[in-house]
Amino acid sequence: MLGNFSYHNATKLYFGEDSLQYLKQELPKYGNNVVLIYGGGSIKKNGIYDQVIAILKESGKNIAEDAGVMPNPTADKLREGVKIAKAHHADLLLAVGGGSCCDYAKAVSVSVHCDEDPWDKYYARFEEPDCEIVPVGCILTMAGTGSEMNGGAVITNHDTKQKIGHVFGEEVMPKFSILNPRFTMSLPKRQMVAGIYDIFNHICEQYFSGEDDNVSDDLAEALMKSVIRNALVAVDDPENYEARSNIMWAATWALNTLISRGKTTDWMVHMLGQAAGAYTDATHGMTLSAVSLPYYRCIMPYGLPKFRKFAVDVWGVIPAGKTDQEIAREGLAALENWMKKIGVAMKLSELGATEEMIEGIADATLILDGGYKVLDRGEIVRILKESL
């Protein structure tokens, strides 16, 4: 049975090979001062930068650039971006890149007119914005985070060794997002598969909560099967447009809040992965893949009906003659096999984590209560050690 909920998503999407042309329709809705946000410069190599700049100039916009957004945007970079946006009197923040750029743009959007340090207000105290919010638009170049259609913004603080996400309300969601699957094809394969696992785990975090068999779970299972199928195609043929477009669309629906309706949601894999990422600065999707299986094996006995359903409905495990535990374990084995086929990290040690980091990572892991079991610190340490 689904519980009571509300649903609203404020983001307008433009999807497909010709989607960038719709930027011309969106720009007149905002003032003249645009801050163009991007990462390490790959958009200049693949030509996306020139296309966007041409449209901005054609639309008569005054452009300031905020470049160098790293894969795990930092609190120091956030403060730098606030200064750029303030100096330019930003009317629109236009993020061109992957989920990190989109996250970062949203963090800047709530911080430009904030009188306090944004890390303290939004990431230490988890307060909501009470100031003017600068609108955000996204042009996506990597599929994975779903940041193009949600209010999430993850920031890393190297001083405190914390990586924390704040999920803001609909007023912070991008006003529009442009999704051209062709733009994702210049990514290195490792980045592609990291994004694919991020998508899959977003679905799992919402699916593995509650014991209900409901529409949200049905949607989640369909999305998982699509990601599984298209990932195998894309790994063998990264230029396959159909597979890449399906992956991109699945990424958006995996985390635009739709399939979380009526669910408590878990998110402990993300808490473990983000804590590890704060210590290693490793790619987000890879930290998730490294901790997932030890975590799921830990909580499986407490959510056995759902893990059984996952095995049968998603992976096609044949249940005849098997106990529920055997079925559930076979489902996790199928997940492990798929992860190895697509080439994600299976251990934190592959990402630079060491035994000496475990206690610190455990201390940095936020403990949530939406899953089948609330972990204690000893269980977190054990999971992290098994993840090495």
β-sheet bridge partners, residue 74? 156
Q: Is the pLDDT of residue 329 over 90?
A: yes
Structure token digits, residue 184: 């994702």
- Please count the residues of the chain: 388
Mean pLDDT of all residues belonging to the chain: 96
Q: What is the pLDDT of residue 223?
A: 98
275 vs 271: CA distance, rounded Å: 6
Q: Judge if 102 and 219 occupy the same domain.
A: no
Judging by DSSP bridges, how do beta strands 162-167 and 152-157 pair with one another?
antiparallel
pLDDT at 6: 84
- Side-chain-side CA neighbours of residue 348 (13 Å): 30
Residues 193 and 332 in one domain: yes
Within a domain: 150: yes
Whether residue 160 is found in the same domain as residue 223: no
Q: Are residues 126 and 103 in the same domain?
A: yes
Q: How far apart are the C-alpha atoms of 121 and 127, rounded to whole Å?
A: 6
* Cβ neighbours for 63, distance < 8 A, ≥ 6 positions apart: 34, 35, 36, 53, 56, 57
- CATH number, domain containing residue 89: 3.40.50.1970
Do residue 320 and residue 226 come from a single domain? yes
The amino acid occupying position 337 is N
On whether residue 5 sits in a domain, the answer given is no
Structure confidence by residue, pLDDT tens digits, 87-127: 999 999 999 999 999 999 999 999 999 999 999 999 999 99
Please report whether residue 24 resides in a domain: yes
pLDDT in tens, 235-261: 999 999 999 999 999 999 999 999 999
Handedness of CA 363, 119, 143, 132 (dihedral sign): positive
Q: How far apart are CA 205 and CA 198, in angstroms?
A: 10
pLDDT of residue 385: 98
Claim to verify: residue 127 and residue 193 sit in the same structural domain: no
Residues 234 and 380 in one domain: yes
Q: pLDDT at position 373, please?
A: 96
Half-sphere exposure of 33 (CA within 13 A, CB side): 10
Q: Is pLDDT at 3 greater than 80 in this prediction? A: no
Q: Which domain holds residue 140?
A: 12-183
Residue 7 in any domain: the answer is: no
pLDDT digits (tens, 9 = 90+) for 269-327: 999 999 999 999 999 999 999 999 999 999 999 999 999 999 999 999 999 999 999 99
pLDDT in tens, 337-365: 999 999 999 999 999 999 999 999 999 99
Q: Residue 195 falls within a domain, yes or no?
A: yes
Q: Of 146, 164, 183, at which residue does a domain stop?
A: 183
When pLDDT is cut at 50, 70 and 90, the band that residue 178 belongs to is: very high
54 in any annotated domain: yes
Q: What CATH number does residue 357 fall under?
A: 1.20.1090.10
For residue 66, what are the β-bridge partners? 37
333/376 same-domain check: yes
The last residue of one of the domains, among 162, 183, 204, is 183
Q: Is 35 within a domain?
A: yes
Write the burial class of residue 9 (CB in 10 Å: 0-12 exposed, 13-18 middle, 19+ buried). middle
Q: Write out the chain in H/E/C secondary structure.
A: CCCCCCCCCCCEEEECCCHHHHHHHHHHHCCCEEEEECCCCHHHHCCHHHHHHHHHHHCCCEEEEECCCCCCCEHHHHHHHHHHHHHCCCCEEEEEECHHHHHHHHHHHCCCCCCCCHHHHHHHCCCCCCCCCCCEEEEECCCCCCHHHCCEEEEEECCCCEEEEEECCHHHCCCEEEECHHHHCCCCHHHHHHHHHHHHHHHHHHHCCCCCCCHHHHHHHHHHHHHHHHHHHHHHCCCCHHHHHHHHHHHHHHCCCCCCCCCCCCCHHHHHHHHHHHHHCCCHHHHHHHHHHHHHHHHHHHHHHHHHHHHHHHCCCCCCCCCHHHHHHHHHHHHHHHHHHHCCCCCHHHHCCCHHHHHHHHHHCCCCCCCCCCCCHHHHHHHHHHHC
pLDDT of residue 1: 64
Q: Based on the fold, state whether residues 30 and 102 are members of the same structural domain.
A: yes
Q: Is residue 3 part of a domain?
A: no
The domain boundary residue, chosen from 153, 183, 213: 183
Q: How many domains does the chain contain in total?
A: 2
For 176-201, what is the mean pLDDT?
Answer: 96
302 with 256, same domain: the answer is: yes
**d(Cα 53, Cα 139) in Å, to the nearest integer?**
12
Judgement on whether residues 91 and 196 belong to the same structural domain of the protein: no
Are 167 and 29 within one domain?
Answer: yes
Cβ atoms of 268 and 375 within 8 Å: the answer is yes
